[in-house]
Structure 1
Amino acid sequence: MVATVYRNAVVFTGDPAAETAEAFAVEDGKFTAVGSLASVRGAVADATEVDLAGAFVAPGAIETHAHLMMFGESLSKVQLRDCNTVAEIQDRLVAARNAAPEAKRILGVSWRFEPISAAGADQPTAAMLDAVLPDVPVYLDANDLHSAWVNSAALAEMGITRDTPNPVGGEIVRDENGDATGFLLETAAVQYVWGFLQEAATDADRDHALDLAFDAYLATGVTGAVDMALMEPDFDAVMRRLDRDGKLPFPYYAHWMLTATGEEATDVAQIETVVRMRDKVEAAGYSEWFRIIGVKFILDGVIDACTAAMRAPYKNGDEPGPIWTAERARPVAVAADKAGLQIAMHAIGDAASDIALDALALVAEVNGPNENRRHRIEHLEYVAEDSIPRLAEIGVIASMQPVHCDPAVLENWKAVLGDERAENGFPWRKLRESGAHMALGTDAPTAPYQMPQNLYIALTGGSAIDPTLAPYHPERAFAPGEAIAAQTSGAAYASRIEHEVGRIAPGLIANAYVLDVNPLVAAPEALLTARVLRTLVAGDEAFAL
């Protein structure tokens, strides 16, 4: 097969000893040479050359915290992230209804708490939606995907009454009469809202959502994704695609989402199910494209909804407990580790980080030494000072999402935490200095998915949504090379695939993206309008402008 030499570029290799190069060669889906143009030409006998006109090239980005199905579904929902008042939300939903009067339901995504607070309310209510859409069910996912806001027609369609129980780790918010208000928190949103909508969706709906997700990610330079909430309908859709095509647009690695049932035997039995699914994928011969690599615990909620588990009470006095208590999480974590699964633990509050670190330390104590565990904590938005060094000590990866630090979505922190505590989030610099391995993703659809904008926030602490806002602690930000590495080689290390992808180096799979801005030298603001020009997956052009 004839090689392809890509030249006249600034190539970020991911190799600290030789961070940049001017050319690279690809053959049979792998990088075969990287360095000066002369050295690359000398390494290949026969080649086609592609002039990249001075563009920037990096290893393909790995979306290290994805929700592939939900992300694809979100691209067809009413987007509410930029709505600043309840009236704006109402107007957008009415416009969607008028555009599709035959629709059975109105589905929206990414509403923020700030418009609710601006209306003088503590929480959203069905009445706010009933005022404009009383006759069609309305289901709205919060920006963080940790709560749902629905109208009265949706409550009726789901069959939620005064007698409907709260699930473990969740709440159907009720008024003084015991009636549901239209606001569902944490596992109540997962069990009732997501569960109902999953039942209502067809295979064709899921197939379409996957198509949308893959296409959107490829257009932003993503060449691999790590799902953090794989469930059975998602698994079936991916397997159906593999049965049809024999491959995916890019490799997909998944952590199965665990449910806190309140019964230890039932909780632990979930690990057997995950192992069975993992083995099913391997037996089908699909491991090149799809792997179940771990499990996901959602230990707590989010700060905006006052459901993240914190060491100190919220400003309103709330002291929420975790979704998984330490006692419940430990035996399941031990079983997962023993089965060779990576453990990912969602922990936003500092008390949740304590539970995660204690559980992961216990895993090593019970199951013995293993240098390749690479368990991880997701988000780490509010971490106690004394917890930071423990990540490196235990060998836990810090998986973080700069887009969650966008000042435009942090306004509510002061309202719920108070001014002083609101300044203690996202300790990126201290985590780096502690020696912890870091991986950066986006957590779409809880935040914008575009790789260049995520990189901008990592470099500045500024807002990609509203660049006029003051940055959030820019002194904690990443240097360009650090951030790009965390999106590529760091993300690969976090999923035990650094021997396959994550750098531009001979022998690795030829995944890369080409950008019209060089983040190493350009003003960070240029990333706000940067364009991915092409994306390579295993040497093939999977996207091009």
Structure 2
Amino acid sequence: MHALIMGQSILKVGLEHCKNLEDIRSAIREYAKTNTTVPRISCRGWMHSMTPDGVNSAMLDDLDPLGRPIFVDTKDLHSTWCSTTAVKELDIQTTPDPVGGKIHRDADGNPTGLLEEAGVFTIVWPHIARVASLEERAAAIRSAVEAYNTVGYTGLIDMAMDEDIWEALQKLISDDPNIPMRFAAYWLIKPSATEAEHLKQVERAAELAAQFNATKSPGCRVVGIKIICDGIIDSCTASLKEPYSSNGASTDAIWTKPQLLPVVRKADSLGLQVALHAIGDATIKMAIDVIEECVTPTRRPRIEHLELSSPEDAARLGRLGITASIQPVHSDPAILRAWPRLIGEHRCGRAFAYREFADGGAPLALGSDAPTAPHAPLANMYVATTRRSAREPGPDGPAAFNEHFALGLCESVVAGTKGAAYSTFAETWSGGLQAGMKADFVVCDMEWEKEKLLAAKVSETWFGGRRVYGA
């Protein structure tokens, strides 16, 4: 998950209900009309399938009479669509494409308003963090903590930690040492022009980990590094072994293997865990190859997402002790309607192969990647166990997606508790109900049946022996 962005997203205009461009425009126009004091308009939940003909700034420019900057995030956070005033605020007219990212431009070289991949997390994210005060950023993280407590969380694994977020998190903890959440952070290694710049980022993560660890700071730890190796299938930026069916294009990974190896090797030598974002089958193979070559198995390396894997690579995870860090809410059939067109029916049959990961002996850690997807764990487990839609449930909803890859209910609960704790070396004090462990637990009003998980409710959340949420 992403603590700061999650907190900020709570206040953003939700576009999840939109079906097309006109729906999006209507939602933003209505928000602008009734929220005249906010300095900029930020939106979440846009999907490329809502705008199949593409997007540009002009589509947003007439929606706010006050002319405020408008930023629209895709649900996966890998693309941002900006109004003309937002583009000007970003000051990217002459900015070259960042390594591993793209600033889309027209025939005259002017930004069209769409930024992708590293363009988002090296340009947009830092800008949004900078224009918010330290107090506002800390308050956003507090809002995220409250939202997570409400649905039963007592621990969070932040997968894109950087200086701006870290500063805000430390401010929050300093102001409220009893904040009811335990944080484990992976430092985001951003693509840079040189290996030296990459290694400097790893050294910064190690510096923080030496100070903030299970011994010195168990409630807030830096445990490793995170590298976003490719994009996503919905925007055709995930790296696949075969071209995309929709456009015949082949997309390179954000990081090449020669770029990854020294960074991962350095992190391992400094005692850091390695987390690699890999969605496409080509990137998944590369990530496993890199881990096999230079990561100590006892470091518990992990791969995030694993959305389109080959049978051979699915089997390798367990053999190499690689944690499969999965987000079942990303496999909700309601958000996969474009996949047959994008990658073909034949490859859809390989998507989200959780059953193979488990059967191959891979440790499973179940999360949400919020705010890229809904953060409630019970709905997440519903999708994991039924492969049906939590977004559009019922007989009129979409058909189950790859039911043969479903997990069992017990497997899913363990993956979301003990498995998540194991993935960050916290299993001796968290992730289970045993004498001597932290009294972090949740009380649910539910029946132990996967089909009834959407009706299940969190009644109470307890953190360190005190109740922090009660329905």
Superposition TM-score, scaled by structure 1 size? 0.83
Residues 455 and 484 in structure 1, CA contact (< 8 A), matched pair in contact too:
yes
Residue 447 of structure 1: CA displacement? Answer: 0.2
Equivalence map 1:277-356=2 (5 Å): 277-281=208-212, 287-315=217-245, 316-356=247-287
The match for 1:447 among 354, 368, 373 is 373
1:160 aligns with 2:79: no
Residues 230 and 277 in structure 2, CA contact (< 8 A), matched pair in contact too:
yes
Residue 266 of structure 1: CA displacement? Answer: 1.4
1:140 aligns with 2:43: no
| d(CA) in 2 for partners of 1:271, 1:298 | 14
| d(CA) in 1 for partners of 2:113, 2:64 | 13
Q: What corresponds to 1:10 in structure 2?
A: none
| d(CA) in 1 for partners of 2:212, 2:353 | 38
CA deviation string 1:196-250 (max 9, x = no partner): 2111111121121111100110111111011100011111111112222324312
Percent identical among aligned pairs is: 36
Residue 191 of structure 1: CA displacement? Answer: 2.1
Q: What corresponds to 2:44 in structure 1?
A: 109
Read off the aligned partner of 2:234 and give its amino acid letter.
Answer: D
| d(CA) in 1 for partners of 2:349, 2:213 | 46
Q: What corresponds to 2:324 in structure 1?
A: 398
- The higher-RCO structure (CA 8 Å, 6+ apart) is 1
Q: What corresponds to 2:455 in structure 1?
A: 529
Equivalence map 1:196-211=2 (5 Å): 196-211=127-142
| d(CA) in 2 for partners of 1:372, 1:362 | 14
| d(CA) in 2 for partners of 1:254, 1:481 | 27
Residue 90 of structure 1: CA displacement? Answer: 0.8
| d(CA) in 1 for partners of 2:154, 2:363 | 21
Q: What corresponds to 2:412 in structure 1?
A: 483
Q: What corresponds to 2:61 in structure 1?
A: 130
Q: What corresponds to 1:470 in structure 2?
A: 399
| d(CA) in 1 for partners of 2:138, 2:115 | 28
| d(CA) in 1 for partners of 2:213, 2:352 | 37
Q: What corresponds to 2:13 in structure 1?
A: 78
Read off the aligned partner of 2:230 and give its amino acid letter.
Answer: D
- Unmatched 5+ residue regions in structure 2? none
Helix, strand or coil for the counterpart of 1:528? helix
Residue 371 of structure 1: CA displacement? Answer: 5.2
| d(CA) in 2 for partners of 1:208, 1:104 | 17
**Structure with bigger gyration radius:** 1
The 10-residue stretch of structure 1 (354-363 or 340-349) with the greater mean CA deviation from structure 2: 354-363
| Equivalenced residues, count | 466
Equivalence map 1:81-96=2 (5 Å): 81-96=16-31
Residue 282 of structure 1: CA displacement? Answer: 5.2
Q: What corresponds to 2:164 in structure 1?
A: 233
Residues 213 and 222 in structure 2, CA contact (< 8 A), matched pair in contact too:
no
| d(CA) in 1 for partners of 2:284, 2:243 | 16
Read off the aligned partner of 2:414 and give its amino acid letter.
Answer: A
Residue 83 of structure 1: CA displacement? Answer: 1.1
Read off the aligned partner of 1:380 and give its amino acid letter.
Answer: L
Superposition TM-score, scaled by structure 2 size? 0.96
| d(CA) in 2 for partners of 1:333, 1:356 | 10
Read off the aligned partner of 1:141 and give its amino acid letter.
Answer: D
Residue 279 of structure 1: CA displacement? Answer: 2.7
| d(CA) in 1 for partners of 2:207, 2:359 | 39
CA deviation string 1:138-188 (max 9, x = no partner): 001111000101111111222222x32100000011222222111111011
Q: What corresponds to 1:44 in structure 2?
A: none
Q: What corresponds to 1:224 in structure 2?
A: 155
Residue 528 of structure 1: CA displacement? Answer: 1.7
Helix, strand or coil for the counterpart of 2:99? coil
Helix, strand or coil for the counterpart of 1:420? helix
CA deviation string 1:388-422 (max 9, x = no partner): 12111211110000000011111121221122222
The match for 2:191 among 237, 241, 260 is 260
Q: What corresponds to 2:466 in structure 1?
A: 540
Read off the aligned partner of 2:436 and give its amino acid letter.
Answer: G
Read off the aligned partner of 2:226 and give its amino acid letter.
Answer: K
Helix, strand or coil for the counterpart of 1:377? strand
Residue 372 of structure 1: CA displacement? Answer: 2.4
- Unmatched 5+ residue regions in structure 1? 1-65, 365-369
1:499 aligns with 2:425: no
Read off the aligned partner of 1:499 and give its amino acid letter.
Answer: T
CA deviation string 1:102-142 (max 9, x = no partner): 3221000111112112xxx0x22212212433722100111
Residues 402 and 457 in structure 1, CA contact (< 8 A), matched pair in contact too:
yes
| d(CA) in 2 for partners of 1:326, 1:278 | 25
Change over 3 Å in CA distance of 1:247–1:276 after alignment to 2: farther
Residue 475 of structure 1: CA displacement? Answer: 2.1
| d(CA) in 1 for partners of 2:173, 2:404 | 45
Residues 319 and 360 in structure 2, CA contact (< 8 A), matched pair in contact too:
no
Residue 525 of structure 1: CA displacement? Answer: 4.0
Residues 463 and 471 in structure 1, CA contact (< 8 A), matched pair in contact too:
yes
Residue 531 of structure 1: CA displacement? Answer: 1.4
The 10-residue stretch of structure 1 (297-306 or 267-276) with the greater mean CA deviation from structure 2: 267-276
The match for 1:456 among 369, 377, 382 is 382
| d(CA) in 2 for partners of 1:245, 1:402 | 33
Helix, strand or coil for the counterpart of 1:372? helix
Read off the aligned partner of 2:439 and give its amino acid letter.
Answer: A
Residue 486 of structure 1: CA displacement? Answer: 0.5
Q: What corresponds to 2:126 in structure 1?
A: 195
